[in-house]
């Protein structure tokens, strides 16, 4: 299949490379020359504009920073340029309202569009082990599933347009909260004189167990390999966690849903990012909680 890929940053670059490995022809575009160079090395054909990349594509995949950019790219460069009937897959994490609005505009222009945000971080993007949470029609999902499976280990239809984004922001609000609780628990355990490996051995098989502890432990040398073992570099940047928390809070305000833990997590990650740690892995917040 001929697939245009727009947005080749930390996540998109690995995802596009995995589409090439799966045998697809990938027409890639990014504003950053270095990202285009990396895409070329991975086997993508590169282009100097999004319009050129989507021309002739059977499917378009995007991984972009925010809803404003998603709307602008699809409105200006994809709708009317991609062939009629091309499948459109936006894997960015954006607000639910924009995802639904752009999908409606796509449908009016004759395209099936799905929101398909991901979980799994840079490592998952490179390894092809992402989880995709997909919003769109059942017919569109059936078309999209084989493409997404080339980039991930799990592809789940969450519901109608916008449902993928809803699932992503709710999931990451849980992640933000549990990581802070896990960091606080390790900090307290340390000050109470517990050996941290021993505490991990106990809590990882007890009621305190969570993904933040057993798959992404914020303490170096404890549990499986994680960004904590690399100076909190790589993985999922704190600025991106903050972005997702803010999206959850916006959704909470729009729906009248009180989000006390989500609000406090956003406050803590705001302070962490503003102290110069926006590019630090989000588990690095333990350093400020110790």
Tokens 């090439």 locate to: 20
In the predicted structure, residue 248 carries a pLDDT above the cut 90: yes
- Per the DSSP assignment, residues forming a β-bridge with 154 are 131
User: Which tens digit of pLDDT belongs to each residue from 72-117?
Assistant: 999 999 999 999 999 999 999 999 999 999 999 999 999 999 999 9
β-pairing verdict for 112-115 and 87-90: parallel
Count of CB atoms situated within 10 Å of the CB of 221: 11
C-beta of residue 86 within 8 angstroms of C-beta of residue 60: yes
Please identify which of the residues 21, 168, 191, 243 carries the catalytic annotation.
168
Burial bucket for residue 170 (CB in 10 Å: 0-12, 13-18, 19+): middle
* Average of per-residue pLDDT values in the chain: 97
Give CA–CA dist 111/106, Å, rounded. Answer: 5
Residue 109: what pLDDT?
96
Residue 28: what pLDDT?
98
pLDDT band at 135 (very low <50, low <70, confident <90, very high): very high
Residue 4's closest CA among 98, 124, 87, 120? 87
Asked if 168 is an active-site residue, the reply is yes
The tokens for 65 are: 């920073």
Give the per-residue SS3 of 92-140. CCCCHHHHHHHHHHHHHCCCEEEECCEECHHHHHHHCCEEEEEECCHHH
In the predicted structure, residue 160 carries a pLDDT above the cut 90: yes
In the predicted structure, residue 265 carries a pLDDT above the cut 90: yes
User: Which tens digit of pLDDT belongs to each residue from 25-56?
Assistant: 999 999 999 999 999 999 999 999 999 999 99
pLDDT band at 215 (very low <50, low <70, confident <90, very high): very high
The widest CA-to-CA distance across the chain, in whole angstroms, is 65
Residue 123: what pLDDT?
87
φ, ψ (nearest 5 deg) of residue 183: -60, -45
User: Which tens digit of pLDDT belongs to each residue from 162-180?
Assistant: 999 999 999 999 999 999 9
**pTM attached to this predicted model:** 0.92
User: Which tens digit of pLDDT belongs to each residue from 147-156?
Assistant: 999 999 999 9
Residue 245: what pLDDT?
98
């Amino acid at each position: 299949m001929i697939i245009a890929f727009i947005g080749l940053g930390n996540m998109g670059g690995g995802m596009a490379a995995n589409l090439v490995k799966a045998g697809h022809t990938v027409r890639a575009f990014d504003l950053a020359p270095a990202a285009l160079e990396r895409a070329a090395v991975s086997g993508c054909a590169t282009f100097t504009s999004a319009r050129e990349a989507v021309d002739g594509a059977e499917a378009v995949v995007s991984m972009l920073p925010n809803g404003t950019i998603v709307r602008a790219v699809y409105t200006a460069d994809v709708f009317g340029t991609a062939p009629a009937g091309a499948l459109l897959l936006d894997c960015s994490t954006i607000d639910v309202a924009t995802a639904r609005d752009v999908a409606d505009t796509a449908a009016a222009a004759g395209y099936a569009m799905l929101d398909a945000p991901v979980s799994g971080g840079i490592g998952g993007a490179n390894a092809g082990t992402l989880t995709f949470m997909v919003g769109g029609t059942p017919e569109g999902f059936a078309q999209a599933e084989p493409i997404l499976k080339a980039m991930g280990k799990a592809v789940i239809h969450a519901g109608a347009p916008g449902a993928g984004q809803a699932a992503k922001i709710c999931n990451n609000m849980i992640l933000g909260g549990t990581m802070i609780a896990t960091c606080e628990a390790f900090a307290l355990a340390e000050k109470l004189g517990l050996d941290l490996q021993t505490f991990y051995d106990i809590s990882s098989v007890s009621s305190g167990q969570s993904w933040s502890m057993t798959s992404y432990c914020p303490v170096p040398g404890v549990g499986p390999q994680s960004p904590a073992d690399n100076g909190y570099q790589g993985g999922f940047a704190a600025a991106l966690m903050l972005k997702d928390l803010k999206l959850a809070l916006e959704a909470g305000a729009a729906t009248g849903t009180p989000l006390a833990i989500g609000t406090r997590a956003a406050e803590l990650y705001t302070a962490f990012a503003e102290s110069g740690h926006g590019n630090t892995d989000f588990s690095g917040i333990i350093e400020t909680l110790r």
